[in-house]
Chain A
Amino acid sequence: MNNDKILELKKIATDIRLGAVEAVYSGKSGHPGGALSASDILACLYFSELRIDPKKPRDPKRDRFVLSKGHSCPALYAAMALRGYFDIKELKNFRHLGSLTQGHPDMKTMKGIDMSAGSLGQGFSTACGMALAAKLNGDDYRTYAMIGDGESQEGQIWEATMFAAHYKLDNLCLIVDNNGLQIDGPVKDVMNVMPYPSKFRAFGWNVISIDGHNIEEILNAFEEAKTVKGKPTVIVAKTVKGKGVSFMENQAGWHGKAPNEVQYNQAKAELEKYKSEL
């Protein structure tokens, strides 16, 4: 693996984290925890894996990405802004009336969002529809979807899991942002849905387990997923909720809370320091 590329993606992931924290701070509400856990994967998707062109957000041949855990959109917006979909200043308007950056992703408001999502459990099914459409049309684009831990408690997630395997959607790649925490506490205490690998395997999926903060492992998993035919692939990415901001890491309380000014400045300083030392 090219070390320069890994370093570059690490920097981008940190910029995504900075953008996500800024958005939630500016919006005075939002979900920093799951945004920070997903940032490395989003960096790899938007700056390496996805075949996309910000100038052609509706290109029928583009790869699709559905953030089924829509509340993590501060990181998605930061990734998209950095990739050139819209002015990064828009992050400051997160959750404000009239802004492009709605509280949960809205494909009508923002070009480049492939599906509106937010009501948990639903985005994954829509990604199945996109992958099925590619099969019907003979298109070679791939569809990616990211779900969360708590989200996996929704029955619809397992309906879609059945569907994707039944129709052999090998052009679909699901990512589980396995940060182990949800609003009310640890997933294993609230309603244990883990372990994921054996569950997905039992449904007929190809399973790749990785460290969701290791750029090399993320990129390799995407590559491997493309080689698997006849069944969909799920990447179970072990992550840390709040990753990169010391006081947010592994704290369920930072699932859906905005930092105050002091906390924001500390978070920013920590992330900038990390980036400068890369």
Chain B
Amino acid sequence: MADKIATREAYGNALAEFGAKYNDIVVLDADLAEATKTCIFKKKFPERFFDCGIAENNMFGVAAGLAASGKIPFASTFAMFAAGRSFDQVRNSIGYPHLNVKICATHGGVSVGEDGATHQCCEDMALMRTIPGMVVMNPSDAIEARCAVEAAINYDGPVYVRFGRLPVSVINDNEDYKFEIGKGVKLFDGTDVTIIANGLMVEQALIAREMLREDGISASVVNMHTIKPIDKELIIAEAQQTGAIVTTEEHNIIGGLGGAVAEVVSEVCPVPVVRHGVPDQFGKSGAGKDLLEHFGLNAKGIVEKVKIALNLKKMR
């Protein structure tokens, strides 16, 4: 396994890489270029980088105007300010006219760490998912982050991508790895339960699978990097195959991946769906990895939810 790398770092590198290939890429930031890693692009293409200052709402409007004039704007800030503060701008200036803006938000989830609850956005996937026509992604490692950026460039329309602050393991470094918007990646096949994960919880899902195997439980593992459009086909196939699903995400259990999966399952093939994520609470200050432990966002937490799901399955 390669060294750990944050998906925000991979994002900055991808911008610089694809910026050379696509002259229409323009990058906007709101005084966080060092943190969001758009500074990597800025260094290489200063004439196509525009700092908007601490004025996110205007930034997303400027991005909309650039897109309406044929540019491919990437607008970055923390997830809290992109999806939270600027929800109205993203909805009305970008989503409603279906403009080709790439909203690339870093510092999603509680792993932001020390900055505390005001900066730990656990609602972004839920918010962005309710905007008609918005593609919503949360890549699991550096390789997938790069793929998400490339896919966003090649997709004509609004896209929201969440990147993380913490360095995470590279898990998609196998030769047959393929990224497609809206297509989940099945990492392991199992018979008893399916774990559907995204973001940094994919790695934990893989560890949980090993732990469950030692207990004689066979788990499918799906990396659901795109939560909108959600891969209904794969979810239904898993529900039919294993009859129990656990979702895991670094997001409020309300409205994110768990919500998206439960919506599909309950309408098409009802089986138990147990949501693992940030309980309906605000975060707090602490080291990112300590906060993940605090909220049980680890393999052990997933295993506990799997046991609950298996009990529910037995009771049916």
Contacts and interface: CB of A to CB of B under 8 A. Distances in A.
Contacts of A114: 68
Interface stretch (B86-94, B261-269, B291-299): B86-94
Given A119-B88, A129-B66, A108 B97 contact: yes
B69 A162 contact: no
Interface in A169-221: none
B interface SS class? helix
Interface stretch (A15-23, A35-43, A71-79, A152-160): A152-160
A162 B92 contact: no
Nearest to A129: B65
A247 B28 CA distance: 47
A223 to B, nearest CB: 24
A167 B50 contact: yes
Contacts, number: 111
Given A106-B96, A159-B58, A130 B65 contact: yes
B70 A122 contact: no
Interface stretch (A46-54, A131-139, A260-268): A131-139
A98 interface: no
A124 interface: yes
A163 interface: yes
B77 to A, nearest CB: 13
Contacts of A163: 52-53, 55, 58, 62
A118 B88 CA distance: 11
Interface residues of A, number: 35
A132 B62 contact: yes
Contacts of A108: 96-98
Contacts of A128: 58, 61-62, 65
A125 interface: yes
Interface string A82-120: 000000000000000000000000111000001110110
Nearest to B96: A116
Residue among B55, B58, B71, B93 with max Cβ neighbours from chain A (10 Å): B58
A116 B57 contact: no
A129 B63 contact: yes
Contacts of A251: none
Contacts of A124: 61
A54 B256 CA distance: 44
A156 B68 contact: no
Interface in B45-87: 48, 50, 52-53, 55, 57-71, 73
B58 A125 contact: yes
Nearest to B64: A126
A132 B66 contact: yes
B97 A132 contact: no
B55, B65, B68, B96: residue with the most chain A Cβ atoms closer than 10 Å: B65
B32 to A, nearest CB: 16
Given A60-B70, A136-B26, A162-B55, A115 B62 contact: no
A33 interface: no
Contacts of A107: 68, 97
A80 interface: no
A136 B61 contact: no
A127 interface: yes
Given A122-B89, A163-B55, A127 B65 contact: yes
A130 B96 contact: no
Contact of A118 (B48, B62, B92): B92
A116 B95 CA distance: 10
Nearest to A68: B61
Most buried by B among A106, A107, A133, A155: A133
18 contacts: A60-B70, A66-B65, A108-B96, A121-B57, A123-B93, A125-B61, A126-B64, A126-B93, A128-B61, A129-B63, A129-B66, A129-B73, A133-B66, A156-B55, A162-B55, A163-B62, A166-B53, A167-B50
Given A129-B67, A137-B69, 15 more contacts: A64-B69, A66-B65, A108-B98, A116-B93, A116-B96, A119-B92, A122-B89, A126-B93, A128-B62, A128-B65, A130-B69, A132-B50, A136-B26, A159-B53, A163-B53
Closest A-B pairs by Cβ, 3 of them? A129-B65, A125-B61, A133-B69
